[in-house]
Structure formats: C-alpha cells, structure tokens
Amino acid sequence: YALLLTDSKGQLPIDANVLTKLRDLVRNLSITDTDTMRTYLKDYVQTSLFTRSSAPPLSNQRFYPSHSTIYNYIYSTLAEQL
C-alpha cells in the first residue's frame, strides 16, 4: 500500500504535474484568473495527463483543485517572482 500524505484538512495534495502546469501558465502566459486557470488545468488533465486512460472524476481535487487552492498557488507563484 502506498502512503498518501494529506494536508491539514485531510485532503490529498495537488498532483505534481498539475502544479507544474499551473506554475508554467502563471510564469509564461501570465494567467492569474482562477476561472481561466481552472479551464486550462481541466483541459490539461483530460488531454495530456490521461490520454490513454479515462480521466479522474471532476470531484477529484488532486487533479481538479478548488478555486481557493488555485488562487493560493497562483499567489505563491507570483510571490516567488518578486
């Protein structure tokens, strides 16, 4: 069995590939709107990460992070650039 670490709310952390894509979109395309980012990430998960298998359900926050999680990662990525 794999050990899955959770955050303080008991949720799984965002997938590393999704986080890398989010940070790339902030840095390279200056995407800072959470709704726009959510659209890009959903497309990325469904067309790039799971090309040979079915994508996880939209309720899986590891691959489809919440609005507040996206906001927090956008903010932290922007803060790193200062």
> What's the burial of 41, exposed, middle or buried (CB within 10 Å: 0-12/13-18/19+)?
buried
What pLDDT does 24 receive?
97
Task: Read off the pLDDT of residues 2-54 as tens digits, 9 standing for 90 and up.
Answer: 444 455 565 668 999 999 999 999 999 999 999 999 999 999 999 999 988 89
Provide mean pLDDT across the span 57-64: 95
* CA–CA dist 40, 57 (Å, integer): 16
Q: What is the pLDDT of residue 2?
A: 43
The more confidently predicted of residues 82 and 34 is 34
Q: What is the pLDDT of residue 39?
A: 98
What are the strands, taking DSSP E only, across 1-82?
none
| Sequential DSSP letters for 55-66 | PPPTT-TTTS--
Closest listed residue to residue 80, CA positions, set 19, 11, 8, 18: 19
